[in-house]
Amino acid sequence: MQSACPVCVNAARARVRCAPCAGHARMFFRQKQSRKKVSAARTFCAAALVFPGLTQYSKVRKTQTEFFTGVYTVDITLQDFERAQQRLKGVLHHTELDLSATFSAMTGGNIYLKYENSQKTGSFKIRGASNKIAALVERGETGAVVASSAGNHAQGVAYAAHRFGIPATIVMPKTAPIAKAKATEGYGATVVLAGDCYDDAYAKAREICEQEHATFLHPYNDPEVIAGQGTLGLEILGDLPTADVVIVPAGGGGLLAGVAACIKQINPRVQVIGVQAEGADAIAQSFRTHGYVQTDSAATIADGIAVKVPGDLTVPLIERYADDVVTVSDRDISEAVLLLMERCKQIVEPAGATPVAAVLKGKVDVKGKNVVCLLSGGNIDVSFIQCIIEQGLVARSRRLRFTVTLLDRPGSLGNLLNDIAALGANILSVEHDRLTAGLNPNEIDVHVSCEVGDKAHGDRVRGQLIQSGYHVKID
């Protein structure tokens, strides 16, 4: 009886063993679901044993459980991921999975890094875009495609469309970085600038779709896009069959939903954990409340996962397959980006560095485990890298900024700078200030920024200057 029960079949697809349908219905409902729905689900299961056609009532393959809960999801099978992998052969790189001795020593686990930041177009987004366009071509739908994005999805769609010989239009906000717009054009797409934010660009893209009868490619809320992103799960388990934990960034949820669904259908023992920025945590809230949550804002340096409205297809898949969703602060993300540059010589965008941030800050138990951190992308502005480096050096007490009050007479500034240099500090900037309130007419404030080895070195520099008679104020 169990194998014939359609609810049990759905459970088996996720490798979850459950009791006969008369006793397990509540497993598929949230805790506060009404008794009527549970009873209705049991009745439907029993009826499906006699009338199997009852389960085939939807074009998007909604499960009978979803029919009663009102939460509709698509059914993405392992065969869908394998089919996507076949489509993507020759289109993109099989990116490297490498053990990081540095992060392993820092955390007590075996930390592997999946370098998707070295993927074509610099991001995992090419996987979903390429699978979607390849599927359209297979179905004979070779018309134009339209997408709205200011970042990685734009470049992924542009590259994939060019690869398959399909015209593409990408709508970007006017505030999009010029470098990203030019890179998207370089892949052969037509770039349209519209509005000041993503929502404006999305509305314009939909308008173009209606006018030109084109196909809109959603960045995450599409089954074939999710299947394409999920091919990373096949690669990870193929390269590291003994993986215990896989940590995945989450914004709209396409990557996390795909990787989690793929991995759990191969090996349910492997934990799949999502990571979001604290300022853009719609999926984390949805996971905790077992519901669908949209946020009013998405404020984070991780622009690749700054999403207020997650996918209504991705959220149920994440709830079904993921083990947890954690959050990290922007400061944690900055530190991870800097460490990846310093220790691993990898340029990783803030969104892609969130798994490393989660591991380093103890958000995930990794001790003694084989852990894969998915570095989802590496598209980051050079100017922003400089900001992260500066802030990171300040946070590590590698930068020291202080003010010294001097007599305004020849030689006093030179003596100060010589004394600082003698203490091994590298002077970065010096600024005279005669307008500070409270200064005597013959005094000036000198603001000094210098580089030191660590906090102890900075304390030593400050202490020696004070012993030499300088009045030092740390800024």
Question: Which sequence positions are flagged as catalytic?
Answer: 125, 376
Q: Are strands 110-115 and 97-99 parallel, antiparallel or unpaired?
A: antiparallel
User: How far from the centroid of its chain's Cα atoms is residue 374's Cα?
Assistant: 9
Q: Looking at this protein, which amino acid is placed at residue 302? A: A
In the chain, how long is the greatest CA-to-CA distance? Answer: 100
Distance CA 475, CA 450 (A): 12
* Closest among 288, 280, 278, 289 to 309, alpha carbons compared: 280
Q: Where are the beta strands (DSSP E) in 108-228?
A: 110-115, 145-148, 168-172, 190-193, 215-216
Measured between alpha carbons, how far is 400 from 70 in angstroms, rounded to an integer? 57
b/e per residue 324-363 (b: at least 16 CB within 10 A):
bbbbbebebbbbbbbbbbeebebbbbbbbbbbbbbbbbeb
Cβ neighbourhood burial of 147 (10 Å; 0-12, 13-18, 19+): buried
Residue 240: C-alpha distances to residues 5, 73, 233, 237, 306 (Å): 35, 30, 10, 5, 30
How many other C-beta atoms are found inside a 10 Å radius of the C-beta of residue 390? 12
CA–CA separation, 220 and 259 (whole Å): 13
Q: Which residues contact 119 (CB under 8 A, 6 or more apart)?
A: 92, 93, 95, 126, 127, 377
Q: Would you give the distance in Å from CA 52 to the centre of its chain?
A: 41
What is the signed CA dihedral for 143, 148, 153, 157, rounded to 10 degrees? Answer: 20
